[in-house]
Amino acid sequence: MNTNETTASMIEGQEASVPYLYTRRETAKLLRVSERTLDRLLKSGAIRVTKISNKALRIQATELSKYLQRQTEGVIA
């Protein structure tokens, strides 16, 4: 099982219950990217965010699953 599949499995486990909202830091850690790289992904619209206040953004587990699925489409294991 590769890294993206492992991360996707962890995220899908969260989806089964109440929708989980990840912080930027948690999301970056799950994707194994820097927060700056994550900010670029968010700004480009590659990953949609949920705004919970004027300053706070969260990323839904379902959005991470969609992003990872798009990233792994066409990749042969």
pLDDT tens profile 1-42: 566 666 666 666 555 556 789 999 999 999 999 999 999 999
Rounded distance between C-alpha atoms, residue 45 and residue 41, angstroms: 6
What's residue 42's pLDDT? 96
Q: Is 53 helix (H, G, I), strand (E, B) or coil?
A: coil
What domains does the chain contain, in order, with CATH numbers?
A: 3-72 (1.10.1660)
Q: Does the pTM of the predicted model rise above 0.75?
A: no
- How many CB atoms within 10 Å of residue 22? 21
